[in-house]
Chain A
Amino acid sequence: MFNLMRNEWMKLFSRAATYVMIGAIVLAAIAATVIMLFINSLGSDQNLTWQEQLQADNERLEQMIETGEAGFMGDDPAERIAINEYALENDIAPNSMNISGTFWSYLENSTFLLSLIGLFAIIVASGIVASEFSWGTIKLLMIRPIARWKILLSKFITVGAFGLFLVVITAIISVILGLIFFDPGSPVRLVFEDGQVVEKSMAAYVVRLYIFNSLDVIMLTTMAFMISAVFRNSSLAIGISLFLLFVGGTATGFIAAYYDWAKFSLFANTNLSQYEMNMPIVEGMNMQFSIIMLVIYFAVFMTLAFTVFTKRDIAS
């Protein structure tokens, strides 16, 4: 198995396209820093300290309570006031209030890089099986004394490892650039829980944010891999998966507004942060339901890929 993965890795890294992808990821991570520095520089004429900003925020929120205006995005203004006061008392500068941006808010805003990694993972997943067919190399690959499922599994693991590899590269670059160009900020995140303000770790929050944001690309990469193994056609796999990556979430949102069955669709369940924000896409869904749905989808994709790939004849 280890040797099979070494083979896949060798094939992957013998191709120019792979290096183009890595280069694009590096550039994107750098571009993210530059853009964020640029945006931050636009707002820097507003010379208030974070304490002054929090006080101004509190005054506005108190007005909202008086006039009975609904809080933005379902936030309870009273909770925000409590959090702001806690921050002032304990001298914790919120990351969002730092005018020149902090390391943590930079990481928080860099999640879009995951979509780019997802895009590349989908491209690799789409080609890793189908290309062997289009190159004709599948014949020499499958006449070895190795069960077909092992070959397929080694390819799937390689796709995952490649995705993870890109994530690690991005993370390293982001952390280094973030530490160089932004204030460290406070590693504490204030949350209102059970009637009181509690301190939570910012790092854990960012990690969770990244995991939640990568669920849809993980699922789509698995689907692309399945299509690649079942239909042996990389363009089909790339086409369907990318189409869904870009419009799947939005389309599901529209459908969910009218029909309840949308909750069984893949994209209604990939966004787990909907439960954090307490706004499930369809009323009555919860985290447990979504995780079960994701596991079912994953199992279906895998079963399809493995049964078809191991059963079907290789004839061209």
Chain B
Amino acid sequence: MSQQAVVELKHVTKKIRSKTIIDNISFNVFSGEVFGFLGPNGAGKTTTIRMIVGLMKVSSGDIIVNGKSVKNDFEGAVQHVGAIVENPEMYKFMSGYKNLIHYSRMYKGISKEKIDEVVKLVGLEKRINDKVKTYSLGMRQRLGIAQSLLHDPKVLILDEPTNGLDPAGIREIRDYIRRLARERDMAVIVSSHLLSEMEMMCDRIGIIQNGKLKDVQLIEDFVGNQSHVYKIEVSNAVEIADRLRQAFPAFEIRLVQEDLLINCKKEDIPAIIKWCVEEGLSVFGAAKAAKSLEDRFLEVTSEQKEEPVNV
């Protein structure tokens, strides 16, 4: 792959007093991809994000952004990062435009035109001169994104970007994020505890639980990897399920409503269909049943819960 890692986490650990909040996390994020950071509330998503943007210091390990260490060269590293940490809290007593002016003064060479361009991108032209306290949550979220894009960052970090938005707002934010990654070749890190959201937004997903990184996978792999589950629609499914199990003892066969769910490889499907036809059953369809992200997530996180018992 010619892709270049823009964000590298190297054995990042965070301890607060003697408690380990983040335990030896390592992963890379490449430009042009949307990386989903997934985990239940309190798993350590926000802490990790706060460390990437330098709000919290790492206890050990290091975070490299665009080749510069957040630990040793904070200003150099953070220069390429745009972020919203938790809620996009702005100065409510000022207009959206003044808020943007405020942040733009903290970088070198951001022109008025650039501010206008960003305002247009997030579609706030009409309300930008109103005070932020009159904004809806969705508008504040958009202003938050505008603020994070002022300096054309290489990395965009959005913590729970769809929190509290209505479905239209969620869709809008999702489209922005995908567009930014694709058109501007940005690396986007998105955190969420909403699995369905991640499935639609992200290219890759990292699962974090109890401060440990459980798994990093491409979204396609994550949702449907390993042995696939195929759904076969046949007549009299209820009656033939047991006979099918006897005929193919190697596969796990489940009956869900009127359909058979068979855990097997692709090559095995013709044999199963042939058997059904020979038995005189009508086969209406056979298709790969993608496991939902939710199933996989619970699978991954519950696997790990049992771990301490083995030790």
Contacts and interface: CB of A to CB of B under 8 A. Distances in A.
Contacts of A135: 89, 91-92
B57 A11 contact: no
B251 interface: no
A313 B74 contact: no
A115 B54 CA distance: 40
Nearest to A147: B75
A14 B50 CA distance: 29
Contacts of B89: 135-137, 139-140
B87 interface: yes
B55 A143 contact: yes
A147 B87 contact: no
Contacts of A137: 89-91
Contacts of B93: 14-16
Interface residues of A, number: 24
A110 to B, nearest CB: 33
Interface string B220-252: 000000000000000000000000000000000
Contact of B106 (A16, A146, A314): A146
A229 to B, nearest CB: 16
Contacts of B101: 10
Contacts of B94: 10-11, 14
A11 B91 contact: yes
A315 interface: yes
B57 A313 contact: yes
12 contacts: A10-B94, A14-B94, A139-B85, A139-B86, A140-B88, A140-B90, A143-B85, A145-B74, A145-B76, A146-B75, A313-B55, A315-B47
A143 B79 CA distance: 9
B107 interface: yes
Nearest to A139: B85
A4 B83 CA distance: 20
Interface residues of B, number: 34
Given A10-B98, A10-B102, A144 B78 contact: yes
Interface in A23-49: none
Nearest to B159: A139
Interface of B: 47, 50, 53-57, 74-76, 78-79, 81, 83-94, 98, 101-103, 105-107, 144, 147
A3 B101 CA distance: 10
Given A14-B93, A315-B56, 16 more contacts: A3-B106, A6-B105, A11-B102, A14-B98, A15-B93, A136-B89, A140-B85, A140-B103, A142-B54, A143-B54, A144-B106, A145-B107, A147-B75, A313-B50, A313-B56, A315-B50
Contact of B74 (A16, A139, A147): A147
A142 B55 contact: yes
A140 B83 CA distance: 8
A144 B86 CA distance: 16
A7 interface: yes
A234 B229 CA distance: 59
Contacts of B81: 143
Contact of A144 (B47, B76, B91, B107): B107
A314 B85 CA distance: 11
Given A145-B75, A145-B78, A313-B56, A136 B87 contact: yes
A139 B107 contact: no
Nearest to B73: A145
Contacts of B84: 140
A143 to B, nearest CB: 4
The 7 closest A-B pairs by CB, nearest first: A136-B89, A144-B106, A3-B105, A145-B79, A313-B56, A314-B55, A145-B75
A99 B78 CA distance: 67
A4 B106 CA distance: 7
Contact of B105 (A7, A139, A145, A314): A7
Nearest to A146: B106
A218 to B, nearest CB: 28
Contact of A4 (B56, B90, B105, B144): B105
Nearest to B51: A313
Nearest to A11: B91
B74 to A, nearest CB: 7
Contacts of B107: 144-145
Interface string A97-108: 000000000000
B53 A143 contact: yes
Contacts of B87: 136
Contacts of A3: 105-106
Nearest to B53: A143
Contacts of B56: 313-315
Contacts of B78: 143-145
